[in-house]
Structure 1
């Protein structure tokens, strides 16, 4: 075998699959691009253009949430689309700036400047990519629905609160929930009339276009060949482009009234394409040099939670729009990691899947991930040619865009669902919500997960046990049958022992029915050996029925004497077929 053949064999053995199949799996564009058609191209072009109308104003607005200048929101908008088009596996998902990612950057950017956002994008990408390589996507399973809902509600409320001052043209800078409202009430006498009017009218305009979409949706379908209702299409497209429309209208008004200057405006936005360079691993701020270790220390828990939240958003959005199709979580993590790594080379802040833009993508009839490239091209054109016009974008208009987005992001249904289904889940939900709101998002998630795990551990420590008292005609004495209803782990050891030892009486036989026990750890096995000896000292009889071989093996390896007490069959047959003395614990 020549060198090329040996290399191919090594690759095949390493990946345990044909290299061609591996390439198709890990670079999904190679599997569908050869079959790409002109009609698909035009549908992707329409979807990409429509999403671009949403992404440009959102990118500018989300950059403001993070404390960055508007161009950073545009930089991260275009690189994600290019990379995800090649490596992404879900056609609907749009990768780019999100409000939650921006909020998690706020504190770090305010301390050490915009380089902090760029570097954390690179680090988060590396972490996400490694987690994907190691198939460790299961870590997001620790984010239960109450945790996700509490986190989302707190983040949306905090973001909306931070924009109230912009909505009314108030001075000051406050990002935390309490600080934002303190700033509003401390400066309430400085409310600017025309900023307030423009901001409130913008909100009403956005809500109206959002709700009118329902009417348009009834008449419009993504399959243009079946439905060509022009009015329905117009209403539908008008609703999809509502963010862009409100920004354009506000900018035109501000430009026409530039001499009177009735509004606070965005100001100068850096134009031109971003430089392609390595992310910074040290910062010089006001003459003070900060090393990478200083930066890492400032990131704190964010260095773990930003990638985890990014994974959670991207995968959950992919699942929501997959329509029952299996999502390759590993591939999504690899793609998301690469998006962030490459984005950091064009000064992007961390990016992930956007639910809003993904919904727009889906509603626009997207066919492949190539639509992301068309969205990215729109963003590039905006960076190259439209940045002078961003100078006149009113801050009140951007605030209205964010506040409306946060209103629809807030999970109002969570309170009702948890109250109706399981009130106990309100505890981790409210804990996460309040801690994220009043402490920080990172610690709020940690505390919420901790509280949620306490409930899980308590359930493990108090497994469901059914205890029944049986009588058999030719058997003297009482027979207590204890049936654990689930797997037994170490927190349940003492509870199981206490339940068994509560079976008192003369000529008592205790039977542990293990038909539902799928697994058992050493702690429970040692507890079984201990209470077996205790039953012996009380002169009682014990038997273990219907345990899986793997569970029996764990117990026998802990104590070989237990082997004689494991029996198979139903209770009557076992007790009738053998003398009761055979079960007596020696």
Structure 2
């Protein structure tokens, strides 16, 4: 274990450094109570880590709770309640997206908050149902009903937790920014299009992009005027509230507008519900309503490992086989979404991906015991949490408590929530989830990266999210392998010691896909010069090679020798040189360690070249 002493700081400064992450903690105090030294415990550095330090790292609440104050409690309460007002309507809406009864959105909203209080490493993150998770679990709900979503939640949690224990977080590194952006945009388009039917008050079967659009056009004559009017007005109000000129640190009115802006989803849903209830009191029901929501808290019990749905019973093995690739893609997307959000709000502080995965895994496992669908970090609610000035993970307690209160007391009022207002909430959220900036960035920086982005986007929209993600990753890996197999090669003709030479410089490390290409490229350049010039292979950019490259470099030396050309290895690292010499000890004579090209050749080699 490596420990790094950090300069003297006060409790406040240490808490700012910890930021709820549990990465830094005090070890000594002076008489005034200020901590003089802090220690950073990094488990990967050495296995000999103090068990207490590992415990603090793996249960972060131990690190920050001793420094908790009443002032922080007040700020966390405000932030947590604000997030709760956003989480309730969003949860109901995402349950609808998943094809689940509305109460499942509430069941999914509180367990993650309580788990993350203890195991979470970021003060800002709020774990709960998200639009992408709802869309990805939709097929499971279609095949196995609500029990399918609960079982997927449990299995996803187990996989995520296992990946965290095995430090497999690096897997998400294979999902590049273009692929992620394409997936996110496709999910937003698919979810947004699936809500058009509710916005217009019509009935359409299917939830995919093509089915939704075709269904809307086929049933456009059944559009309900009042639902459409309420939905459009809700969209306009949501956009208007989002752009209110509020400020947390301003005067009373600016603070009020800031709070309304943060809680805009709740404001719109509450207003729409009041309108529907007023119509109901006057004997009218012009809107399609959410309808009866099961009252009370969810039952606590293990997830179902055998499911009976549509008069068909499926055992655990059959269900797992039916879930197929979604058992891999869903946990990976959950991890990607959660870690991406954690990095966004880390603001330069260290992020423990293993701990984030462990917390997310446990949240899903325990969530399945209260009938939750798969959950992960929510960018929208995390942004609200951050903007509300949350201080620690304690804010999640208030969010979870408010959702539990809604489950136990307020479910009867949810009956009057118009479906068009929920559709408006989702459509606006999906619009702001669209990532147009990445297209512009890639166009300016590297246009080839638009290929995996576009392929991922189109395949996710027209096939499925899982297929699109797999195809996008495959395209990205093909591009990566192509550029690995075709390293740039710089060729210069120089004069050294009175003789002309070819200096050939690979621009990156070499692995087996590039072995044949480099050999062919050098021979081609030599033939192109039309002369038997000595070849200097400059390895300043090559930090590693494998056995295949070593073999081909030996063949290259033999090929050049048959052409009566001398080959010299110059500027190669000791590790690479060792690999070459272990492959063929005779290659040792071709290495030069001079700092410049001058004086590189032995007199015998100079004479040989001049004789030729």
TM-score class, shorter: over 0.9
SS in 1 for 2:491: strand
> Which structure 2 residues correspond to residues 471-486 of structure 1 after superposition, within 5 A?
471-475=495-499, 478-486=500-508
Equivalent in the alignment of 1:256: 278
Equivalent in the alignment of 1:162: 194
SS in 2 for 1:345: helix
Q: Distance in 2 between matches of 1:580 and 1:112?
A: 79
Pick the aligned partner of 1:420 from 417, 420, 444: 444
Asked whether the 8 Å contact 1:265–1:391 carries over to 2, the reply is yes
Q: Is 1:331 paired with 2:355?
A: yes
Q: Is 1:318 paired with 2:348?
A: no
1:580: Cα distance to partner? 4.2
Deviation digits for residues 226-254 of structure 1, max 9, x if unmatched?
x5x10110000011111111111111111
Equivalent in the alignment of 1:489: 511
Change (3 A) 1:14 1:517: closer
Equivalent in the alignment of 1:6: none
Q: Distance in 1 between matches of 2:498 and 2:440?
A: 56
SS in 2 for 1:572: coil
1:186: Cα distance to partner? 1.2
Equivalent in the alignment of 2:396: 372
Pick the aligned partner of 1:358 from 378, 382, 400: 382
Asked whether the 8 Å contact 1:520–1:551 carries over to 2, the reply is yes
Asked whether the 8 Å contact 2:494–2:502 carries over to 1, the reply is yes
1:579: Cα distance to partner? 3.9
The alignment's C-alpha RMSD in Å is 1.7
Equivalent in the alignment of 2:475: 451
Equivalent in the alignment of 1:58: 90
> Which structure 2 residues correspond to residues 507-546 of structure 1 after superposition, within 5 A?
507-546=532-571
Equivalent in the alignment of 1:96: 128
Equivalent in the alignment of 1:143: 175
1:172: Cα distance to partner? 2.7
Change (3 A) 1:479 1:341: same
Equivalent in the alignment of 2:425: 401
Equivalent in the alignment of 2:597: 571
Q: TM-score, normalised by structure 1?
A: 0.93
SS in 2 for 1:91: coil
Q: Is 1:193 paired with 2:193?
A: no
Pick the aligned partner of 1:127 from 144, 151, 159: 159
Change (3 A) 1:574 1:14: closer
Deviation digits for residues 375-420 of structure 1, max 9, x if unmatched?
0000000000001111111100110000010010011212222222
Deviation digits for residues 259-281 of structure 1, max 9, x if unmatched?
21100001111111111111111
1:576: Cα distance to partner? 5.0
SS in 1 for 2:496: coil
Deviation digits for residues 425-447 of structure 1, max 9, x if unmatched?
11111100000000000110111
How many residue pairs get matched?
561
Higher deviation after alignment, 461-470 or 560-569: 560-569
Equivalent in the alignment of 1:560: 585
Q: Is 1:28 paired with 2:60?
A: yes
1:171: Cα distance to partner? 1.2
SS in 2 for 1:488: coil
Asked whether the 8 Å contact 1:147–1:445 carries over to 2, the reply is yes
Q: Distance in 2 between matches of 1:325 and 1:315?
A: 13
Change (3 A) 1:232 1:542: same
Q: Distance in 1 between matches of 2:47 and 2:156?
A: 26
Equivalent in the alignment of 1:343: 367
1:16: Cα distance to partner? 2.6
1:473: Cα distance to partner? 4.3
Q: TM-score, normalised by structure 2?
A: 0.89
Deviation digits for residues 454-513 of structure 1, max 9, x if unmatched?
1111111111111111112433xx311111121001111121111211214454211111
Asked whether the 8 Å contact 1:565–1:583 carries over to 2, the reply is no
Q: Distance in 2 between matches of 1:431 and 1:555?
A: 41
Q: Distance in 1 between matches of 2:254 and 2:394?
A: 26
Equivalent in the alignment of 2:307: 283
Deviation digits for residues 142-165 of structure 1, max 9, x if unmatched?
111111111111100100000000
Q: Distance in 2 between matches of 1:578 and 1:240?
A: 80
1:560: Cα distance to partner? 2.4
SS in 1 for 2:503: strand
Equivalent in the alignment of 1:216: 246
SS in 1 for 2:537: strand
Higher deviation after alignment, 37-46 or 418-427: 418-427
Q: Is 1:240 paired with 2:262?
A: yes
SS in 2 for 1:141: helix
Unaligned runs of 5+ in 1: 1-10, 222-226
Higher deviation after alignment, 111-120 or 565-574: 565-574
Asked whether the 8 Å contact 1:542–1:583 carries over to 2, the reply is no
Q: Distance in 2 between matches of 1:466 and 1:15?
A: 44
Q: Distance in 1 between matches of 2:111 and 2:390?
A: 19
Q: Distance in 2 between matches of 1:290 and 1:506?
A: 75
Asked whether the 8 Å contact 1:77–1:376 carries over to 2, the reply is yes
Unaligned runs of 5+ in 2: 1-42
Q: Distance in 2 between matches of 1:538 and 1:190?
A: 81
